[in-house]
Amino acid sequence: MVGAADGALAKHETAAALVSEAQLPADELGDFIRKRNVRVRELLNKQEALLAEQRARGEAAAELERLSYSMVHRTVPGRGGKDGRMCRG
């Protein structure tokens, strides 16, 4: 029961990472498994938050890259266009 859930957690199979609490005994073993489930839920929530932050940082980096490119490659009014001269600054 716990071994299979731990294996699923190690394989990133989040749906199977929690042990069903439906028929857990009301003893130390049941308490242990319930506490484990709480920690696993916290871990999964933190992992999702970190992934969301990573996505946001990636998007910000891409936007900065676009902004940087546009600043470096902008043309000077009256000098760009047909002759192709660009401003570098």
**Inter-residue contact 71 to 59 (CB < 8 Å):** no
Burial letters 11-38, b for 16+ CB under 10 A, else e: eeeeeebbbeeeebeeeeeeeebeebbe
The reply to whether 77 falls in a domain is: no
Work out how many domains the chain is built from and give that number: 1
The reply to whether 86 falls in a domain is: no
The reply to whether 58 falls in a domain is: yes
82 pLDDT more than 60: no
The reply to whether 88 falls in a domain is: no
pLDDT tens profile 21-65: 999 999 999 999 999 999 999 999 999 999 999 999 999 999 999
The reply to whether 65 falls in a domain is: yes
Note down the domain range covering 38.
Answer: 2-15+22-71
Q: What is the pTM of this model?
A: 0.65
The reply to whether 62 falls in a domain is: yes
